[in-house]
Structure 1
Amino acid sequence: MLKTKRVLFFDIDGTLLDERKRLPSSAKEALRRLQEAGHELVLASGRSPFMIARLAEELRIDSYVGFNGQYVVLRGERIYTNPFRTDDLRALSGFASRRGHPLVYLNEGQMRSSVNYHPYVDECIGSLRHEHPACDPRFYERTDVYQTMLFCREGEERAYEAAFPGLRFVRWHPRSVDVLPTGGSKANGIAQLIGRLDFDPEQAYAFGDNLNDVEMFRYVGHSVAMGNAPEAVKKLARYVTTAVDRDGIANGLRLVGLLN
């Protein structure tokens, strides 16, 4: 039997937050109205849980798909994780070091860099409103790591894709690529959560703006690309709304019939 309520997944950067990392008031109000109507709201981001916490508190959302699907929390309870194998990170670290490419390793509470300083790391992490992480090149040997950032120019990730066919490399910045463990994707994380809620994917909605949202778009029944998304992402979405800073969330929810 079809549910009258829906589950909605929202990417963060470029979807809920604009280029200056501001949450438009129209988006906040739209999400509040969805919650009052009883719909299930979930943050779905490449970010780590510690990077999500402040926004989640502001929006009163306690479910999220973090690390592009590797760390899933439902109503405050962790229900799924998919960490890297240590041997994979050891091999990746050696490969990157030989090419002069820094890495940043992330777990649910912190991140550490393979180098003391690199301008690419500073630029990319700074765009997320965080400082260059401390150096700890063997961090991955002492803790579970759910996502790694590789810092290199566009196209240079192809050598990594050839050398590590079991890992996934998804570019999110001209100077950085998210590296996901085997089996990693937002779609897989969303599937874990939807299964717990007993929803059909056709009843799910996803809002996103970048290449790491493509598999999420393919999995859910209702995909909405932001107006600021690349054309390649828009072509894969069922709907296209306005840009994040032009009331994109509110307009997109009206477009799919969930907001008056």
Structure 2
Amino acid sequence: MSNQSIIFFDIDGTLLDFDKKLPESTKKAIFDLKARGHEVAIATGRAPFMFDDIREELEIDTYVSYNGQYVVLRGEVIYTNPLDKDALLQLTQTALEQNNPLVYMDADDMRASVPEEDEMITTSIHTLKVNKFPTYDPLYHQGREMYQCLLFCIGDAEKKYEQEFKSFDFIRWHPMSVDVLPKGGSKAHGIAKITEKLGFPEERQYAFGDGLNDVEMLKQIYNSVAMGNAEPEAKAVARHITKSVDENGILHGLQMVGLLD
């Protein structure tokens, strides 16, 4: 353990480039890390079913998904933090009144609150270039554990939701969509469940990210690296800043912090 580190990677804009492709230099770097005995993990806002192909390609079975609400260590679920059911019911009612669609997400699937193919849902989810798309089931959240919702709204419309729903956090990930999370839930919190269980000291913890949902992670992890394409808020709290994802940013960052030659 003395020379072993754990490295957490965000997916979109970090592992994957702007075309949602995995750069060859990044793939090689991940396998080089593992060959040196390091633990490699993913920390993402995506649902588990939205990146199973990436996990398979990179042979990674430890991950923090749903921005920290569903955590898996070496193939075993070790922590879950679902949305409050009563508050979610109230959110559903308010969102319908405001004509803001919702997508409910559990560990296995996602369903939409509106029947027709909504433009905001279609536009934002298609940017992820995933094979799955939500079908209509307005009651899907009832009797199930939901770990995240997508609220579809534009501008700063989430501000009114923030004021009304104190048990949720609202984090924008797309001009048309906001992640709805349990209050205080974050990648940082989910990561801590893994590092505590494995016993990694803070100086042996690394994290790479680029988005607003990476801010808490980059603030908490001792060896944090923001991508060159990262949001200003992410760069402001990171210990290091590497090159852009499309400029071999992962490889450069790992070399910069001394994990690879």
| TM-score class normalised by the smaller sequence | over 0.9
Letter in 1 for 2:251: A
Which residue number corresponds to residue 103 of structure 1? 102
Say yes or no: does 1:235 pair with 2:236. yes
How do 1:62-211 residues align onto structure 2 when only pairs under 5 Å count?
62-116=61-115, 117-130=117-130, 132-211=133-212
- Give the superposition deviation at 1:199: 1.1
Distance in 1, Cα, partners of 2:195 & 2:247? 30
Letter in 2 for 1:37: R
Structure 1: unaligned runs, 5 residues or longer: none
Structure 2: unaligned runs, 5 residues or longer: none
Distance in 1, Cα, partners of 2:91 & 2:202? 34
Q: 1:57-94 CA deviation, whole Å, 9 max, x = no partner?
A: 10000100000000000001110000112111101111
Which residue number corresponds to residue 24 of structure 1? 23
Which residue number corresponds to residue 215 of structure 1? 216
CA-based RMSD of the aligned residues comes to: 1.1
Say yes or no: does 1:37 pair with 2:36. yes
Q: Please state whether the residue corresponding to 2:255 is helix, strand or coil.
A: helix
Say yes or no: does 1:60 pair with 2:63. no
Distance in 2, Cα, partners of 1:98 & 1:24? 43
Q: Please state whether the residue corresponding to 2:89 is helix, strand or coil.
A: helix
More deviation, 126-135/146-155: 126-135
Identity of aligned residues (%): 49
Report the count of equivalent residues.
259
TM-score (norm. length: structure 1): 0.97
Distance in 1, Cα, partners of 2:58 & 2:37? 15
Which residue number corresponds to residue 256 of structure 1? 257
Q: 1:120-165 CA deviation, whole Å, 9 max, x = no partner?
A: 1001111112354101111110321100011111211000000012
Q: Please state whether the residue corresponding to 1:139 is helix, strand or coil.
A: coil
Q: 1:187-224 CA deviation, whole Å, 9 max, x = no partner?
A: 11001111110112332100000000000011110111
- Give the superposition deviation at 1:166: 1.9
- Give the superposition deviation at 1:184: 1.1
Letter in 2 for 1:26: S
Q: Which runs of 4+ in 1 moved over 3 A?
A: none
TM-score (norm. length: structure 2): 0.97
Distance in 2, Cα, partners of 1:197 & 1:232? 29
Distance in 2, Cα, partners of 1:201 & 1:135? 44
